[in-house]
Amino acid sequence: MNTADLRGAFTRQVGEGLFEAAARRYQIDYGTYAQMYIDGKRFGGRPGHPVQARHRDHRPEQLRDPLGLLMLLQGTTDARHVRDERVRGTPCRVVAVRTGQAELVVWVDDQHVRRIRFEEHASSGQTSVSRIVTLELWDFGVPADSLDWSRLPSFRTEG
């Protein structure tokens, strides 16, 4: 893998998975890395591997964690309609939201949050970087009872 490929893999991570906000759990497979949150603990490692204590992720990353990003909306202090836009064919209102910790852009339809976007910036001296984190939700009501919560998810295949 050359430097450009490595930079692209780091800056443009795309994952697929299952998200149960009411149960406060999720499974996401990024292809070469998988992440799972269950019982108040986040785990990460190679997709398909059995979950073990060594897979426990102790970093507090609420703004990058899918469940944490969604839960931030509970602390909304201000919201402003920006425009209307479709997400996967569903008409949505795009709303700029301010919470106690962050500013987010949220796409909502009449029933669901469809997308949340957060942009973070960092600078030091003459160098500055930014990163956009987007959580997109669809296919609501999919049964999750048959998922194996003892293994890191493997929804995607590399390649």
Give CA–CA dist 107/150, Å, rounded: 33
Look at residue 109 and tell me whether its pLDDT is greater than 70: yes
Tell me what pLDDT residue 8 has: 52
Look at residue 62 and tell me whether its pLDDT is greater than 80: no
Split at pLDDT 50, 70, 90, the class of 159 is very low
Tell me what pLDDT residue 60 has: 62
Look at residue 6 and tell me whether its pLDDT is greater than 70: no
Give CA–CA dist 72/98, Å, rounded: 9
Give CA–CA dist 17/68, Å, rounded: 16
Tell me what pLDDT residue 23 has: 86
Split at pLDDT 50, 70, 90, the class of 58 is confident
Centre a 10 Å sphere on the Cβ of residue 62 and count the other Cβ atoms it contains: 12
Phi–psi pair at 4, nearest 5 degrees = -65, -40
Whether residue 61 contacts residue 68, with contact meaning beta carbons closer than 8 Å, is answered with yes
State how far Cα 143 lies from the chain centre.
20
Look at residue 92 and tell me whether its pLDDT is greater than 50: yes
Give CA–CA dist 77/150, Å, rounded: 38
Q: What is the dihedral angle through the alpha carbons of 102, 117, 136, 110, rounded to the nearest 10 degrees?
A: 80
Split at pLDDT 50, 70, 90, the class of 155 is confident
pTM of the model: 0.78
Look at residue 150 and tell me whether its pLDDT is greater than 70: yes
Rg (CA), the chain: 17
